[in-house]
Amino acid sequence: MASYDYLIVGGGMTADAAARGIRERDPKGTIGLIGADPHPPYNRPPLTKGLWKGEAPDSIWRKTDEAGVELHLGRRARTVDAASRQVGDDRGATYEYRRLLLATGGEPRRLPSAPEGIIYFRTLDDYRAARQLADQGARFAVLGGGFIGAEIAAALRMQGREVTMVVPGEGLGGRVFPAALSRFLVNYYRERGVRMLVGESAERVEGRDGRFVVHAQRTGPVTTDAVIAGLGIVPNVELARQAGLAVSDGIEVDARLRTSRHEIYAAGDVAQFPSPALGKRTRVEHEDNANTMGKIAGLNMAGADQPYEHLPFFYSDLFDLGYEAVGDVDARHETVVDWKTEFREGVVYYLDGGRVRGVLLWNTWEQVDAARALIAEPGPFRPEQLKGRLPAS
Ligand SMILES: Cc1cc2nc3c(=O)[nH]c(=O)nc-3n(C[C@H](O)[C@H](O)[C@H](O)COP(=O)(O)OP(=O)(O)OC[C@H]3O[C@@H](n4cnc5c(N)ncnc54)[C@H](O)[C@@H]3O)c2cc1C
């Protein structure tokens, strides 16, 4: 039986960041990693961005082995016996640990009763499958108007591919962007040649003669060579549940990223943590959170006593538009929009009870720290006080 001082379940960005955090404090302790993905940890954001724009395929690797980590890849941890501190995997192997990290991320939501071959875009192999189809000139349907759908549709269109987007809401990124911006993006995508079916849902997808037929509720059947679905993720909490840990919208952790059993930690997309800046518990599905939280989990596993107080930011690129966002950017909040050039450059403030809870920096750069400082201010703010507060670049 393999035995480790530190065992990490999950082979994503959080897992890699945690291994590096452990190493920073403990140069000698043994670290094992069990990852279901057959590949060692890699950066996910380039899968919908840089790799489509000529970034070298090899640039994505995190080189986790260089931190002296034993990798057990293509294996899924199935059981955690918290009393005996053992993890069992799907090939019958058992691993002992002193400290355990669950960095199991999330699984893409799937369409019920859909045929094989739909790409639920999340992994390197999903990218490779999409790339191969794109290189063969395939026509694509992209289901979903969130981050993944919007980014992959833009990437494919920039390769000259025919793309139809099926978007359930009124516009793109409707959960985050104010309605007018979200609607603007629909036209912006149309102008770039994407067929936009908005306020539409895919009732059923059918495989037919090596192609797909997407049955859109109002438009009717749309025939394509490939379907990519970006329908969000469901956090992978089964292991934690099976181990008897507290689980809600994710694995519950305290400020030090410990679960309800203190020798077991959780971090990244799967972890629900207390955010002092937002004054509530939250779960974040973004890179900065994976990197920073993973690192702090690793440091704490190796004996540090560091609270996770970071307010993560995230970013995205949509054709030649780009943005960074901090905090609780929820379109249901009151928004104050401060455009330098409408829909092209500016700042959106998200308010709740007069307090700034989130900031969207639209083609506006180097303001993330200033946005964090603003969110830390107690307020209350009146809308006119926010105009010009964070200058567009
Ligand atoms: C295509 C794409 C583009 C993105 N772009 C951006 C971006 O531009 N900006 C941004 O801020 N964020 C972006 N994100 C989000 C960001 O990449 C994620 O927040 C981050 O990858 C989360 O890392 P994680 O390690 O917590 O989880 P995951 O990446 O989900 O990794 C978890 C890993 O654990 C493995 N696993 C799960 N259960 C088990 C088990 N029982 N046993 C073994 N292994 C298991 C899974 O196979 C997976 O490899 C993007 C995500 C994707 C998919």
Q: 266 alpha carbon to ligand 1 midpoint, in Å? A: 14
Residue 251 to residue 249: CA distance in whole angstroms? 7
Residue 101 to residue 99: CA distance in whole angstroms? 7
Q: 312-325, pLDDT tens digit by residue?
A: 999 999 999 999 99
> Residue 291 has what pLDDT?
98
Q: 26-38, pLDDT tens digit by residue?
A: 999 999 999 999 9
Mutate to test the pocket of ligand 1, among 7, 253, 286, 310 (most ligand atoms within 8 A of CB): 286
Q: 256 alpha carbon to ligand 1 midpoint, in Å? A: 21
Residue 330 to residue 353: CA distance in whole angstroms? 14
Residue 118 to residue 372: CA distance in whole angstroms? 39
Take atom 38 of ligand 1 and give the residue whose Cα is closest: 104
Mutate to test the pocket of ligand 1, among 14, 39, 44 (most ligand atoms within 8 A of CB): 44
Q: 212 alpha carbon to ligand 1 midpoint, in Å? A: 27
Q: 380 alpha carbon to ligand 1 midpoint, in Å? A: 36
Q: What is the pTM of this model?
A: 0.97
> Residue 391 has what pLDDT?
77
- Stretches where the chain sits below pLDDT 50 are none
Q: 15 alpha carbon to ligand 1 midpoint, in Å? A: 10
Q: Is 47 in the pocket of ligand 1 (CB under 6 A)?
A: yes
Mutate to test the pocket of ligand 1, among 287, 295, 311 (most ligand atoms within 8 A of CB): 287
The contacts found for 343-350 with CB under 8 angstroms, 24 or more apart, are 343/180, 343/181, 343/184, 343/188, 345/392, 345/393, 346/392, 347/389, 347/390, 347/392, 348/177, 348/178, 348/181, 349/374, 349/381, 349/386, 349/389
Q: Is 16 in the pocket of ligand 1 (CB under 6 A)?
A: no
> Residue 393 has what pLDDT?
61
Q: Is 39 in the pocket of ligand 1 (CB under 6 A)?
A: no
Nearest ligand 1 atom to the CA of 289 is 19
